[in-house]
Structure 1
Amino acid sequence: MASPLVGCAAVNSLLFWAYSYGKSIQTGSVETTPTLGQIAIAGAGAGIVNSVLASPIELLKVRLQVQNATAAAGNTLFRGPLHLAQHMTRQFGVRSIMWGFWATVAREVPAYAAFYTGFEFTKRRLANVLADGDSSKLGAVPLMCSGSVGGVCYWTACYPLDVIKSRVQNGTVPPRGAGYIARAANDIMKEQGVKGFFRGYTPSVVRSIPAAGVTFATYELVMRALNDTK
């Protein structure tokens, strides 16, 4: 729990900054409403930037989550993310902390394109129904509903890639070569078939409904409060 908990603020700060910056580059102004296509592009770009922090944080998380299962084979039980990070850098070098970086990028690009597009699409539709088309008048509940849709879109767009990423990051040695993502996908297919790419999809989606709902509602309401103080 410590790895995602400590990294959560940094990851979300970087993610939303990159997303806002991506929108402003395309529209030329933060006050111009972007199209859904521009939203998707900004989200994809934010996913790439976000991978710089998300990759090492998730590497430590997924390896700690399975360590009790692998301890029977004589592997070390780690006290937390710092202990694991120290062990990995001693064994594989400093670069090992970015183990699975490109697999993370491959997941984050479609994930955040869908995440932000799903949120904006739902928010705009709800604004048309509840607030005469003005999304700035939406309250916390409609914003949470919009965020929840974004969360479902996130996992639906990327779940097989997330399974591949976790497989790569739980490997016994750091991946090598440009084709390691394809090799991991091939291994999953051989061992488990197509169903292997969707194991755990339902709990991930269920978790995302409150998590993404709260994330987006908090972001929108905090940004409004900050803008009101200018």
Structure 2
Amino acid sequence: MQIEGTSVFKGPVDCMMKTIKNEGILGLYKGMGSPLLGIAAVNSLLFWAYSHGKRLQTGSSGIEPTLGQIAIAGAGAGIVNSILASPVELLKVRLQVQYSDAGSAVFSGPVALGRHLASQFGLRGIMWGFWATVAREIPAYAAFYTAFEFTKRRFAHALTDGDASKLGVAPLMISGSAGGIGYWTASYPLDVIKSRVQNAAAPPSRGLGYMADAAKAVYSEQGMRGFFRGYSTSVVRSIPAAGVTFAVYELTIRALNQGGK
């Protein structure tokens, strides 16, 4: 929806129905291989950078970081995370929008596409849209972690006398879902721009003006609404995805800490 605009899909339901009609149910899973292969490394790097960012600000004293420090750590983690997230997202975006009847090359998966981009453009082809990814990740993960921590702390004060380590799965999942909503709300227009950049005919030349050019193209085609095409779908997806991610992360950290005592 971000790339095709209003000329192809009227909305998320129309997009889903046309995809199933034209490509079958598996059409809804196009581009899945890239995040499936890369998500473990991406999330590992992300949460490591986030934890390190918190430690740099608070030291090893065990002092609870402020929400401002959480936001800074999240923004820094987003920058570091872009190193892996950019190529993963590039392959996903380009695989999701390819059609067998479009008259252009169709790739069977991320490996084949990655090889093609590398042979055509070298390293620039693999890191295509890196700075656009960085621009998205900074506000995205600042909001992601801040919304999670804010909601988790509110639950802790209400349910466990301020001890967040005693929260159950449900409060953690709701807090994680809040983080996912914060992620997309803070960064969605930038995600639209990133998708446009990564689906262009060729990697951008040097400089960062290409992001402004992509933004102008979106606005000229669809106005301000173009920057939010697909927002509702992303938010709906983020509720279970971020909820599970944070709940599993928090429970895993607890188990590791208990095992080390």
Q: TM-score range by the shorter chain?
A: over 0.9
Q: Counterpart in 2 of 1:100?
A: 129
Q: Confirm whether residue 193 of structure 1 aligns to residue 223 of structure 2.
A: yes
Count of aligned pairs between the two proteins? 228
Structure with more helix by fraction = 1
Q: 1:122 aligns with which of 148, 151, 169?
A: 151
Matches within 5 A, 1:145-160: 145-160=174-189
Mean CA deviation greater in 25-34 or 147-156: 25-34
User: Which shifted more, 144-153 or 72-81?
Assistant: 72-81
- For the residues of structure 2 that align with 1:195 and 1:41, how far apart are their CA atoms? 29
Residue 34, structure 1, aligned to residue 34, structure 2? no
Q: Do 1:39 and 1:117's aligned partners in 2 also have CA atoms closer than 8 Å?
A: yes
* Counterpart position of 1:86: 115
Residues 1:11 and 2:42 aligned together? yes
Q: Distance in 1 between matches of 2:162 and 2:177?
A: 20
Question: Which of 78, 92, 98 does residue 47 from structure 1 map onto?
Answer: 78
Q: Counterpart in 2 of 1:140?
A: 169
Cα RMSD (Å): 0.9
5+ long unaligned stretches in structure 2? 1-31
Contact 1:23 1:30 in 2 (8 A): no
Could you list the runs of 4 or more consecutive aligned residues of structure 1 that deviate by over 6 angstroms after TM superposition? none
Deviation at 1:208, TM superposition (A): 0.2
Partner residue in 1 for 2:14: none
Out of 56, 61, 79, the residue aligned to residue 25 of structure 1 is 56
Partner of 1:222: 252
> Kindly tell me: are residues 30 and 151 of structure 1, through their superposed partners in 2, closer, same or farther at Cα, counting changes over 3 Å?
farther
Match of 2:94 among 53, 63, 67: 63
Paired residues of 2:50 and 2:76 also in contact (CA < 8 A)? yes
**Is there any run of 5+ residues in structure 1 with no aligned partner, and where?**
none
CA distance in 1, matches of 2:123, 2:77: 25
Shift of the alpha carbon at 1:73? 4.0
Matches of 2:124 and 2:208 in 1, distance apart? 16
Per the alignment, residue 210 of structure 1 pairs with 240
- CA–CA distance in structure 2, aligned partners of residues 90 and 193 of structure 1: 36
2-structure distance, mates of 1:146, 1:43: 16
Measure how far apart 1:72 and its partner are.
3.6
Q: Check 1:126–1:187 CA distance in 2 against 1; reply closer, same or farther (3 A cut).
A: same
Q: Displacement of 1:92 after TM fit?
A: 1.5
Tell me the amino acid that sits aligned with residue 97 of structure 2. V
**Contact 2:124/2:203 (CA < 8 Å) preserved in 1?**
no
Query: Shift in Å at residue 31 of structure 1?
Result: 2.0
Alpha carbons of 1:63 and 1:136: their partners in 2 closer, same or farther (altered >3 Å)?
same
The 2-side partners of 1:73 and 1:219 are apart by 42
Mapped to 2, the partners of 1:55 and 1:228 lie a distance apart of 35
CA distance in 1, matches of 2:255, 2:196: 42
